[in-house]
Amino acid sequence: MNTTITATAKYIPEKILSNFDLEKIVDTTDDWIKSRTGITKRHIVQEGEATSDMCANIAKKLLKSSGKTPEEIDIIIIATSTPDHFVVSTAAIVQDKIGAINAWGYDLTAACTGFIFALETGARLIESGKYKNAIIIGADTMSSIIDYKDRNTCVIFGDGGGGVLIEQTDDDYGIIDSILKTDGSGNQFLTVPAGGSRKPASETTVKQRLHYVYQDGKTVFKYAVNRMSEVSKEIIEKNKLSSHDIKLFIPHQANQRIIDATARKCGLDLDQVFVNIDKYGNTTAGTIPIAIDEANKMNLLESGELLLLAAFGGGFTWGSMLIRWGKML
């Protein structure tokens, strides 16, 4: 038995934050952002809108396009670094919002690699035979943890998310293989220093702006290119394929230059690589499922063709996943 994707969906908040808007807030320019990252705009939530709102919207779209009722859903896994609350999980809130009364679920945190980790987990649960389907979502409200006084980070990130419905199949398409990695020694290069049990929120942590994302951009850049290309090449070789066998490569959308360098190292041509970072920036766990949904809606993948995913994020975490595209409901 395999696990296959049978529906895809995304949610992008309406509100746009363009490079020109950012020029008015921090010392940056549209030219710098475009040339160093490839980003022209990103979307951010309205005041009061949270990660579970985005996820519930995505889950409802998945139900609609698959024709499933909320009661038929077995599992909900949400990859996010920006849950509505520490307690309770975003998955629990979404379960309630969509009326999936027979589902259990949880949140999974692996920063920008979160969606691939969640998809792997969901797929293996389904292959156990105990569950028929799962909703797997990657979504982040990065604007809730970004310092709009820090030009090193605020130009890169945006809000948004996407998701897939996965189900059992006896056909030979689906999630074929994955290589997943964690190297916690990289934790200091990309983190939110306060707000957890190490440094609980206090007047001092707020004054020191420790509740925002800190990153050492140059180090993260190098690791992202090297680690994503390593695991992508490894999974291609392990499955006795060549880069030409890959119909579509969806890398995590962190920086156009990271995407280009990774694709080059893997011997992939530009027309094999899906890119939408210009429109949304880095939506953390959201980038890959958003791209999967867009590629699906653009009919870029036919049944039987190979999709390769690769992600890198805080932790450090990274991984690749090989999928033989199946039939949508």
Which residues are tagged catalytic?
112, 252, 282
**Nearest distance in Å: CB 157, ligand COA:** 8
Is residue 18 part of the contact set for ligand COA (CB under 6 A)?
no
- Name the token pair of 223: 């690791």
Is residue 221 part of the contact set for ligand COA (CB under 6 A)?
yes
Q: Are 105 and 77 in contact (CB under 8 A)?
A: yes
What's phi and psi for 4, nearest 5 deg?
-130, 155
Q: Are 173 and 304 in contact (CB under 8 A)?
A: yes
According to DSSP, residue 106 is labeled: E
Is residue 152 part of the contact set for ligand COA (CB under 6 A)?
yes
Is residue 259 part of the contact set for ligand COA (CB under 6 A)?
no
Task: Mark 65-84 as b/e (b = at least 16 C-beta within 10 Å).
Answer: bbebebeebbbbbbbbbbbb
According to DSSP, residue 13 is labeled: -
- Based on C-alpha coordinates, what's the Rg of the chain? 19
Q: What character string, x for contact with ligand COA (CB under 6 A) and - otherwise, covers 88-127?
A: ------------------------x---------------
- The residues pairing with 193 across neighbouring beta strands, listed in sequence order, are none
**Nearest distance in Å: CB 200, ligand COA:** 25
**Nearest distance in Å: CB 213, ligand COA:** 9
Q: Using the minimum distance from each CB to ligand COA, give the nearer residue, 122 or 186.
A: 186
Parallel, antiparallel, or unpaired for β 75-79 and 214-215? unpaired
Helices first, then strands: H and E counts in the chain: 11, 13
Is residue 220 part of the contact set for ligand COA (CB under 6 A)?
yes
Binds ligand COA by CB under 6 A, chosen from 9, 91, 142, 155: 155
DSSP helix/strand/coil, 77: strand
| CA distance to 143, 186, 299, per residue, from 43 (Å) | 9, 28, 24
Q: What character string, x for contact with ligand COA (CB under 6 A) and - otherwise, covers 49-88?
A: ----------------------------------------
Q: Are 179 and 322 in contact (CB under 8 A)?
A: no
**Segment contacting ligand COA (CB under 6 A): 45-53, 101-109, 127-135, 151-159?**
151-159
Q: Using the minimum distance from each CB to ligand COA, give the nearer residue, 168 or 215.
A: 215
Is residue 215 part of the contact set for ligand COA (CB under 6 A)?
yes
Binds ligand COA by CB under 6 A, chosen from 160, 313, 319, 326: 313
Report d(CA 279, CA 287) in Å as an integer.
11
- Name the token pair of 161: 């998310």
Is residue 34 part of the contact set for ligand COA (CB under 6 A)?
no
In terms of residues, how long is the chain?
Answer: 329
Is residue 274 part of the contact set for ligand COA (CB under 6 A)?
no
Report d(CA 284, CA 289) in Å as an integer.
10
Q: Which residue is nearest to ligand COA (CB)?
A: 217
Is residue 37 part of the contact set for ligand COA (CB under 6 A)?
yes
Is residue 262 part of the contact set for ligand COA (CB under 6 A)?
no
Is residue 205 part of the contact set for ligand COA (CB under 6 A)?
no
Interface positions with ligand COA (CB under 6 A): 28, 32, 36-37, 112, 151-152, 155-156, 190, 215, 217-218, 220-221, 224, 254-255, 258, 282, 312-313
